[in-house]
Structure 1
Amino acid sequence: MTISDAQHRLLLDNLTTATLLLNADLRLEYMNPAAEMLLAVSGQRSHGQFISELFTESTEALSSLRQAVEQAHPFTKREAQLTSLTGQTITVDYAVTPILHQGQTLLLLEVHPRDRLLRITKEEAQLSKQETTKMLVRGLAHEIKNPLGGIRGAAQLLARELPEDGLRDYTNVIIEEADRLRNLVDRMLGSNKLPSLAMTNIHEVLERVCSLVEAESQGCITLVRDYDPSLPDVLIDSEQMIQAVLNIVRNAMQAISSQNELRLGRITLRSRAL
Structure 2
Amino acid sequence: MSPGAESGSGDAARYEALDLLATMVAIVGDNGRPLYVNAMLETVSGLSRKALLRTSLFDWFVESPQLRETLTAVLRNEIATGRFDGTLRRAHLAANDLLPVHVIVTQIEQRSDRVLIEMLEIEQQTRQDREERAIGQVQANKELIRNLAHEIKNPLGGIRGAAQLLQMELNSRELTEYTSVIINEADRLQALVDRLLAPHRRPHVVVDVNIHEVCERVRALILAEFPQGLALKRDYDTSIPDFRGDREQLIQAVLNIAQNAALALGERIGAGDARIVLRTRVARQVTIGKQRFRLALELHIEDNGPGVPEDIRDRIFYPLVSGREGGSGLGLTLAQTYVQQHLGLIECDSEPGRTVFKIVIPLP
Q: What TM-score do you get using the length of structure 1 for normalisation?
A: 0.42
Q: Going by fraction, where is strand more abundant, 1 or 2?
A: 2
Larger Rg, first or second structure (1 or 2): 1
